[in-house]
Amino acid sequence: MNTIGDAKHDLLTPCLCLDRKVLQGNIQRMADFLAPGKVRIRPHSKTHKCPAIAHMQLEAGAIGITCAKLSEAQVMVEAGIRDILIANQIVDPSKLRQLAGLARYTQVMVAVETAANASALSEAAVAAGSTIRVLIEVEVGMGRCGVAPEDTLALARHILVLPGLAFEGLMGYEGHAVMLPEKGERTRVAGEAMARLVGTRDMLEAAGIGVGIVSGGGSGTYDVTGVYPGLTEIQAGSYATMDAKYRSVGLEFGYALTLLAQVLSVHGDVAITDAGLKSLSSEFGMPTVLAPQGWELERLAEEHGFLRRQGGEALAVGDKVELVPSHGCTAINLHEHYAVTEDDRLIGYWPIAARGCIQ
């Protein structure tokens, strides 16, 4: 590791860097956007996996934190965060017991889509002497998890009579819309998804079932879901650190997250760096070269990245290159910590404490 105060350019590579001011600005930008309306944010921590960032989001007004997995939630609980939504189904008996234990001293919520899973959650809660808060996940067009809107009423009635469960409301994720490149189409598809979700709420309330929470929304559609009538919260996560894929669809949050690499070899118009697939992910395309300009990342091998000159100044062995991950979530999960910088100086290392928490 480097010494606090070292210049960012001098950091040992490959190095996952986090600009604290840009991060804080992104968090505040989202808070300011939502402040005039009724929708609040429960930011998804599966992107940053870092309790320090989660606490920054809570200090800026977030109402809780979202996690993808029980193990992520455990990390956040151990960091003092109590209001957590696990936006996923938990079905394994041992995980159900662990969840029920967490519910004894936190306000944890979990998604559910079947009566059988709800019954299993109830049994675990009763055995632990706790109450588990649940949201029914509604399938709003993504084709992943969730119950069909027309089947939601029966599931809600089933949950309401089960001991140990507290029915809190509904959630639905318009993930099929968040990265559509054309703004009008993204708005249309996200709006259709939220209409299904809010329509499901209306159906439950017409049947006399109170729905306190209506949760949805990713970073790519925050400006749709964050003002959609009937929603109470969104779960956007990537906005805080940002990545190249979201920038490509028009998100205007700043690049807080970058990867610093060093040039190891130069062959004409090709420069080879020390950052490959063990440092960066590529399922959303190649990371973007932020600096120097005029270079493009063409390929990633296990330990190397291959840059091709596109009109930029020549690179030499030892030069540093700054890249923006194409997908922050999967790139961050490759690293143990962030090198946190401010004004291009190292101010500390923040552990990515939930790295590898996939259970």
Task: Indicate the domain borders of the chain.
Answer: 8-16+251-351, 20-240
Which pLDDT belongs to residue 344?
A: 97
**CA 44 and chain centroid, separation:** 4
Q: Which two tokens stand for residue 131?
A: 């109450």
Residue closest to 263 by CA, chosen among 278, 275, 255, 251: 275
Residue reference for tokens 């996560």: 237
Whats the size of the chain, residue-wise? 359
Residue closest to 118 by CA, chosen among 180, 178, 160: 160
User: What Cα–Cα distance (Å) separates residue 48 from each residue in 27, 55, 89, 211?
Assistant: 12, 12, 21, 30
CB atoms < 10 A from the CB of 343, how many? 9
Which pLDDT belongs to residue 139?
A: 98
Which pLDDT belongs to residue 341?
A: 98
Residue 56 host element (H or E)? helix 51-59
pLDDT-based confidence at residue 166 (cuts at 50, 70, 90): very high
DSSP string, 114-173: -HHHHHHHHHHHHHHT--EEEEEEB--SSSSS-B-GGGHHHHHHHHHTSTTEEEEEEEE-
Alpha-carbon torsion angle 173, 175, 179, 185, nearest 10:
-70
Model confidence pTM above 0.95? yes
Cβ contacts of 210 within 8 Å, gap of 6 or more: none
Task: Give the residue-averaged pLDDT of 180-189.
Answer: 97
Highest CATH level, class, for 8-16+251-351: mainly beta
pLDDT-based confidence at residue 111 (cuts at 50, 70, 90): very high
CB atoms < 10 A from the CB of 321, how many? 23
Which pLDDT belongs to residue 334?
A: 98
Report the chain's mean pLDDT, rounded to a whole number: 97
Q: What is the pLDDT of residues 285-336, one digit of tens each?
A: 999 999 999 999 999 999 999 999 999 999 999 999 999 999 999 999 999 9
Which pLDDT belongs to residue 323?
A: 98
Residue 56 identity (one-letter amino acid)? M
Parallel, antiparallel, or unpaired for β 270-273 and 257-267? antiparallel
Distance between CA 160 and CA 162 in Å, rounded? 6
Task: Give the residue-averaged pLDDT of 153-173.
Answer: 98
Q: What is the pLDDT of residues 62-80, one digit of tens each?
A: 999 999 999 999 999 999 9
Which CATH code is given to the segment(s) 20-240? 3.20.20.10
Q: Are 41 and 31 in contact (CB under 8 A)?
A: yes
pLDDT at 229 over 90: yes
pLDDT-based confidence at residue 85 (cuts at 50, 70, 90): very high
pLDDT-based confidence at residue 217 (cuts at 50, 70, 90): confident
Task: Give the residue-averaged pLDDT of 120-131.
Answer: 98
Task: Give the residue-averaged pLDDT of 189-208.
Answer: 98
